């Protein structure tokens, strides 16, 4: 198995976090410590939790917990996207595009949670 960077879910989560970063540059300045900070943090946390869990996949419980944390952060990102739309910082088209990627990431994370053994490091017996 390669690096966590090779995981499709990581690539999609990273791309979503970067899209959010660029889009939030256009949000009002008074959202700097509110919505902007929160949505950037949660979207980036998906990637960091995946990386942490992947590096600890020889410990099944730790791996599953970190992937679960990534899923939680992805769900939080979804909520911030709802607020961005409701506050009219993004339009319906941008919202739909980001939300679809967010949903896809959630499905991939849940697949990892349901089938963690696919990612474990196999221990060799000497």
**Three-state secondary structure along the chain?**
CCCHHHCHHHHHHHHHHHHHHHHHCCCCHHHHHHHHHHHHHHHHHHHHHHHHHHHCCCCHHHHHHHHHHHHHHHHHHHHHHHHHHHCCCCCHHHHHHHHHHHHHHHHHHHHHHHCHHHCCCCCCCC
Residue range 76-122, pLDDT digits in tens: 999 999 999 999 999 999 999 999 999 999 999 999 999 999 988 87
The mean pLDDT value for 30-56 works out to: 96
Residue range 4-40, pLDDT digits in tens: 999 999 999 999 999 999 999 999 999 999 999 999 9
Superfamily of domain 4-118 in the CATH hierarchy? 23S rRNA-intervening sequence (1.20.1440.60)
Say what the pTM is: 0.92
Q: What is the pLDDT of residue 101?
A: 98
Confidence check: pLDDT of 124 > 70: no
* Confidence band, pLDDT 50/70/90 cuts, at residue 1: low
Q: What is the pLDDT of residue 120?
A: 87
């Amino acid at each position: 198995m390669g690096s966590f960077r090779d995981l499709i879910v990581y690539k999609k989560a990273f791309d979503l976090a970067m899209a959010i970063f660029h889009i939030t540059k256009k949000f009002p300045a008074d959202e700097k410590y509110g919505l902007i900070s929160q949505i950037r943090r949660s979207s980036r946390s998906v990637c960091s939790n995946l990386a942490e869990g992947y590096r600890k996949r020889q410990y099944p419980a730790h791996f599953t917990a970190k992937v679960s944390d990534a899923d939680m952060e992805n769900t939080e990102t979804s909520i911030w996207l709802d607020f961005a739309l409701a506050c009219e910082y993004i339009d319906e088209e941008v919202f739909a595009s980001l939300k679809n990627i967010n949903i896809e990431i959630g499905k991939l994370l849940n697949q990892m949670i349901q089938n963690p053994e696919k990612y474990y490091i196999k221990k060799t017996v000497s």
